[in-house]
């Protein structure tokens, strides 16, 4: 595609230099630039890549997109906001791939990964070839690759959709984080179905208030059903039991399916029975009643399953089929995952890293525990500080004994993070052990027959970020090794 043809979709821009070169691809990292590429300069929080434009030129860039003049000899297109322009240009350059897919976006504080995986399992067991984009990985059909963000930047996202289309994928299911919505990473995506799981405190380091955080999530629903896009019906799937439900319902022009335990929900669970390894209930939906046994523990997973059933119904999959698929559904790695080496107590690894997530998982554990509950938990560095004392308080309130340790301290001093946590637990019994392995060991050594050790916060992660170093660390492996050594 020639540069001028690519620029057709931009409302306005200025040009520095002359020429209409052929653009072979788009790159937003100077090291990824190849001959003939358009290099997009972005003033990020860490790096301002306008200063790298000359290296991109040396690496073969044919043109530059920037917010100001840069010192190169190739044409420079100047726009007010390169992040926004990147989304628009990527959508155009890769031929609007999201419009060719049945696109499902899931947002909410907790449950995005689980819900997307459940929807994926329903879709695939109904013969659809799917793509999945989220915290754990990017999956195209059977192929997996690592993901660097829960929701990739707009360029990577459109490239991923293009790859999905080339591989014959017909539906993409993706997690849509509030950061992504706020930063326009999903601008131009033509969602058919948008799902809201829940809203509770997180990321107040980034969003300045809960209202701003909620409003960012609301963008997924307000953008749904935009007439600019293809004219198939759009659906918003909303958790009716969440306090923010009405806000999301009001912000969308799409058809709404609600779900939850309340009688007002379109898809609801009645006569819920929660067991250590499964949950059974009567599913009531506009399509009738059905008994269901979900092979996942915890009330929160009933919500995730209801969301998946409602999303599948919006995609035209009969409820009976979804129920059948979900009865055989696999849990997601690092979510309520047991480490069993024949020890007389239980060890559960869970990705709970928000106050609400931790409370939910501990409530579930309380409902199945015979003995004591020992909680190992930390809070990520360079992230929301307000949640630290609250999570510590929840660990002490719902657990019998808590050990506060490091999660991913990143560039913060681990001891400072522990002090922030400690502020929430006046008069409670707990231990501070900054080294995560030592903390896990202390918890396991303390456990007696019938007890449950919860290791929270890092779930599937196989690394720990200390300073700027990413070190190998896997809660599951560490716990397994310690139990074996006992
Ligand atoms: C705070 C935040 O959201 N930062 C995101 C943001 O980074 P940024 O704009 O600051 O980018 P930057 O690193 O300064 O780089 C600016 C530009 O220079 C380019 N560059 C950079 C270095 C270089 O050597 N050469 C070069 O060309 C980069 O490619 C980029 O285009 O844009 C990047 C691309 O989209 C993201 O990868 C990055 O996520 C960082 C890694 C991050 O940790 N984000 C977290 C907070 C996040 O987004 N989390 C959510 C999940 C939250 C949840 O689950 O609830 C997520 O979606 O992942
Ligand atoms: N529907 C839910 N409501 C509340 N808590 C949940 C729900 N589903 C899962 N959780 C808890 O939150 C943790 C994270 O779940 P999951 O990975 O599905 O969420 P996520 O929204 O994808 O998280 P992230 O924002 O990090 O991507 C789980 O380990 C569990 O403890
Ligand atoms: N998506 C979340 C994941 C947090 C996981 C936790 N282990 C941490 O590092 O804080 C975030 O980036 O804030
Ligand atoms: Mg996730």
Among all chains, which residue has been given the structure tokens 């609007």?
A: 96
Residue that is last in its domain, among 294, 327, 360 = 327
Annotated binding site: 108-114, 149-151, 177, 183, 185, 383, 407-410, 457, 461
pLDDT at 174: 98
Closest residue CA from atom 4 of ligand 3: 353
- Cα 454 to ligand 3 centroid, rounded to whole Å: 17
332 within a domain of the structure (yes/no): no
Among all chains, which residue has been given the structure tokens 């289309």?
A: 165
423 and 277 fall within a common domain:
no
Q: Where are the alpha helices (DSSP H) in 266-335?
A: 299-314, 319-327
- Cα 334 to ligand 4 centroid, rounded to whole Å: 11
Could you list which residues have their CB under 5 Å from ion ligand 4?
112-113, 135, 150, 175
Distance CA 23, CA 4 (A): 10
58 within a domain of the structure (yes/no): yes
Annotated binding site for meso-2,6-diaminopimelate: 383, 407-410, 457, 461
- Cα 52 to ligand 1 centroid, rounded to whole Å: 16
234 and 376 fall within a common domain:
no
pLDDT at 368: 87
Q: Give the residue among 213, 229, 212, 225 at the shortest CA–CA distance from 251.
A: 225
230 within a domain of the structure (yes/no): yes
Cα–Cα distances in angstroms (integers) from residue 242 to residues 53, 104, 176, 239, in the given order: 47, 20, 18, 6
pLDDT tens readout for residues 405-442: 999 999 999 999 999 999 999 888 899 999 999 999 99
Q: Which residues line ligand 1 (CB under 6 A)?
A: 28-30, 42, 44-47, 49, 52, 148-151, 153, 177, 179-180, 185
What CATH number should be reported for the domain holding residue 387? 3.90.190.20
139 in helix, strand or coil? strand
Residue of 105, 108, 111 best suited for mutating to test ligand 2, as the one with most atoms within 8 Å of CB:
111
Nearest atom in ligand 2 to 239's CA:
1
121 within a domain of the structure (yes/no): yes
Closest residue CA from atom 43 of ligand 1: 149
Nearest atom in ligand 1 to 149's CA:
58
- Cα 104 to ligand 4 centroid, rounded to whole Å: 15
Among all chains, which residue has been given the structure tokens 């405190």?
A: 201
- Cα 220 to ligand 3 centroid, rounded to whole Å: 21
Distance CA 117, CA 173 (A): 8
169 and 316 fall within a common domain:
yes
What CATH number should be reported for the domain holding residue 291? 3.40.1190.10
90 in helix, strand or coil? helix
Closest residue CA from atom 11 of ligand 2: 357
173 in helix, strand or coil? strand
Pick out the chain residues at pLDDT < 50: 227
110 and 61 fall within a common domain:
no
Nearest atom in ligand 3 to 380's CA:
10
57 within a domain of the structure (yes/no): yes
What CATH number should be reported for the domain holding residue 36? 3.40.1390.10
- Cα 457 to ligand 3 centroid, rounded to whole Å: 8
110 and 237 fall within a common domain:
yes
Nearest atom in ligand 2 to 354's CA:
12
pLDDT at 227: 46
395 and 453 fall within a common domain:
yes
Cβ pair 206, 164 in contact under 8 A:
no
Percentages helix, strand, coil for the chain, rounded to the nearest 5?
Answer: 35, 25, 45
Angle (CA) 160-161-163 rounded to 5° is: 65
Other residues' Cβ atoms within 10 Å of the Cβ of residue 286: 10
218 and 341 fall within a common domain:
no
270 and 154 fall within a common domain:
yes
323 within a domain of the structure (yes/no): yes
- Cα 445 to ligand 4 centroid, rounded to whole Å: 31
Nearest atom in ligand 3 to 203's CA:
13
Q: Give the residue among 20, 58, 75, 64 at the shortest CA–CA distance from 39.
A: 64
Closest residue CA from atom 16 of ligand 1: 44
239 within a domain of the structure (yes/no): yes
114 and 89 fall within a common domain:
no
284 and 342 fall within a common domain:
no
pLDDT at 231: 63
Residue that is last in its domain, among 276, 307, 327 = 327
Residue 434 tokens read as 């900054």
Residue that is last in its domain, among 76, 93, 110 = 93
Sign of CA dihedral 285, 124, 230, 133: positive
47 and 135 fall within a common domain:
no
pLDDT at 426: 82
Question: How many structural domains are present in the chain?
Answer: 3
31 and 117 fall within a common domain:
no
Structural domain boundaries enclosing 10: 3-93
Stated pTM of the model: 0.94
């Amino acid at each position: 595609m020639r540069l001028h043809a690519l620029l057709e979709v931009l409302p306005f821009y200025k040009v520095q230099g002359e020429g209409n070169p052929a653009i072979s691809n788009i790159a937003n990292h100077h090291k990824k630039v190849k001959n003939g590429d358009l290099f997009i300069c972005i003033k990020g929080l860490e790096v301002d890549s306008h200063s790298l434009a000359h290296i991109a030129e040396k690496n073969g860039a044919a043109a530059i997109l920037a917010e100001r003049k840069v010192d190169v000899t190739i044409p420079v297109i100047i726009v007010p906001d390169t992040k926004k322009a990147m989304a628009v240009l990527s959508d155009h350059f890769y031929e609007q791939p999201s419009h060719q897919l049945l696109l499902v976006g899931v947002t909410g504080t907790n449950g995005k990964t689980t819900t997307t995986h459940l929807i994926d399992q329903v879709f695939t067991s109904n013969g659809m070839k799917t793509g999945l984009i989220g915290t754990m990985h990017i999956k195209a059909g059977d192929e997996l690759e690592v993901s660097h963000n829960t929701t990739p930047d707009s360029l990577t996202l459109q490239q991923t959709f293009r790859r999905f289309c080339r591989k014959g994928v017909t539906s993409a299911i993706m997690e849509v984080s509030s950061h992504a919505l706020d930063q326009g990473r999903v601008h131009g995506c033509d969602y058919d179905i948008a799902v809201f799981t829940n809203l509770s405190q997180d990321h107040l380091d980034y969003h300045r208030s809960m209202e701003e955080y909620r409003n960012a999530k609301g963008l997924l629903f307000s953008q749904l059903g935009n007439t600019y896009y293809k004219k198939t019906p759009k659906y918003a799937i909303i958790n009716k039991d969440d306090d923010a439900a009405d806000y999301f319902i009001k912000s969308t022009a799409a058809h709404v399916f609600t779900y939850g335990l309340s009688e007002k929900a379109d898809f609801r669970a009645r006569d819920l029975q929660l067991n250590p390894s499964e949950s059974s209930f009567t599913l009531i939906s506009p399509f009738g009643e059905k008994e269901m046994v979900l092979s996942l523990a915890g009330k929160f997973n009933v919500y995730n399953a209801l969301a998946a059933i409602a999303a599948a119904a919006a995609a035209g999959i009969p409820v009976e089929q979804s129920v059948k698929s979900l009865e055989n559904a696999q849990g997601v790695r690092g979510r309520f995952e047991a480490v069993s080496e024949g020890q007389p107590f239980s060890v559960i690894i869970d990705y709970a890293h928000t106050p609400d997530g931790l409370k939910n998982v501990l409530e579930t554990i309380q409902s199945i525990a015979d003995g004591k509950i020992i909680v190992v938990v930390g809070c990520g560095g360079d992230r929301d500080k307000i949640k630290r004392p609250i999570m510590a308080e929840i660990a002490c309130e719902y657990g019998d004994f808590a050990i506060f340790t490091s999660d991913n301290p990143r560039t913060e001093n681990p001891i400072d993070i522990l002090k922030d946590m400690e502020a929430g637990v006046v008069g409670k019994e707990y231990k501070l052990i900054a080294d995560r392995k030592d903390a896990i060991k202390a918890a396991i050594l303390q456990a007696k027959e019938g007890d449950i050790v919860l290791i929270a916060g890092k779930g599937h992660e196989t690394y720990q970020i200390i300073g700027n170093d990413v070190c190998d660390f896997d809660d599951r492996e560490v716990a397994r090794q310690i139990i074996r050594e006992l």
